[in-house]
């Protein structure tokens, strides 16, 4: 069963925004819902075990604070966890899905092995060069593409991002992600990189490095450098 945040409020419930494009709502009966996509898509909070941030870090998770009370963690399996300071507990809010293959023709890579396999494959729908990227950009203006990851970005932002794209070895080699990170919701930001074949776990491994020349990456807090560099 799905609802919208507006439905829950209309029925007497309350909603609280706890991260970019993520709301937690409690309906009039006390049931908790998780909402994304501007509050238009809410699902009942899954009954799952919670973890602590310390436990996630011990297992190799990468964590970043996003507010005074909220830290987002990415574990080794590509699951995204929301950790609240006031309770000390973390709950999973996003998990990798194999259903993506039906939508895109490929499954975004979560590690280096999967990335190399994807680069050697003939999977359709993957952005491998600047022409593929421009075709993806142009698709955002078509009828029925309101849910496109770039739909809300203006031409100047897209041009600035495009200028820094580098392609090599049949796929993405490097890019500056800062301008997208400041203008897209979390879910749409993730979706953009998945079009290049890069899942959340792999993005975390490749980020904070810049492709400065073939085979050379250097530290940079605003860039991503893949093994194609």
Tell me how far the alpha carbon of residue 60 is from its chain's centroid. 19
Share of residues in the chain with pLDDT > 70 (%): 85
pLDDT at 102: 45
In the structure, what pLDDT confidence band is assigned to residue 54 with cuts at 50, 70 and 90? confident
Question: Per-residue pLDDT tens for 85-105?
Answer: 878 888 776 655 544 444 556
Instruction: Please indicate, yes or no, whether the overall pTM of this predicted structure exceeds 0.75.
Output: no
pLDDT at 101: 47
Instruction: Say which residue, 183 or 130, is predicted with more confidence.
Output: 130
DSSP structure string for the chain = -EE-HHHHHHTT-EEEEEETTEEEEE-TTS-EEEEETTTTEEEEPP----EEHHHHHHTT-EEEE-SSSEEEEE-TTS-EEEEETTTTEEEEEE---TTHHHHHSS--BSSHHHHHHHHHS--TT---SHHHHHHHHHHTTSTT-TT-TTTT--HHHHHHHHHT-EEETTEEEEEE-HHHHTTS-HHHHHHHHHHTTB-HHHHHHHEEEEEEETTEEEEEEEEEE-TT-
Question: Per-residue pLDDT tens for 148-192?
Answer: 889 888 899 999 999 999 999 999 999 999 888 888 887 788 889
Instruction: Please give the average per-residue pLDDT across 115-138, as a whole number.
Output: 90
Average pLDDT in the chain: 83
């Amino acid at each position: 069963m799905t609802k919208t945040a507006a439905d829950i409020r209309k029925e007497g419930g309350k909603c609280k925004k706890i991260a970019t494009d993520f709301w937690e709502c409690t309906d009039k009966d006390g049931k908790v819902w998780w909402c994304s996509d501007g509050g238009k898509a809410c699902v009942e909070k899954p009954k799952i075990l919670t973890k602590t941030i310390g436990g996630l870090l011990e297992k190799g998770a990468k964590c970043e604070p996003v507010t005074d009370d909220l830290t987002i963690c990415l574990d080794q399996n590509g699951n995204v966890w929301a950790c609240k300071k006031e309770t000390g507990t973390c709950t999973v809010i996003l998990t990798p899905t194999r259903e993506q293959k039906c939508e895109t023709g490929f499954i975004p890579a979560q590690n280096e092995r999967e990335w190399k396999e994807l680069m050697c494959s003939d999977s359709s729908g993957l952005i491998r060069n600047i022409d593929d990227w421009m075709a993806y950009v142009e698709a955002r203006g078509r009828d029925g593409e309101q849910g496109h990851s770039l739909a809300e970005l203006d031409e100047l932002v897209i041009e600035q991002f495009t200028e820094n794209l580098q392609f090599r070895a049949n796929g993405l080699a490097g890019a500056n992600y800062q301008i997208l990170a400041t203008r897209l919701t979390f879910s749409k930001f993730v979706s953009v990189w998945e079009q290049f074949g890069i899942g959340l776990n792999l993005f975390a491994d490749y980020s904070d490095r810049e492709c400065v020349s073939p085979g050379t990456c250097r530290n940079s807090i605003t860039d991503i450098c893949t093994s194609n560099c």
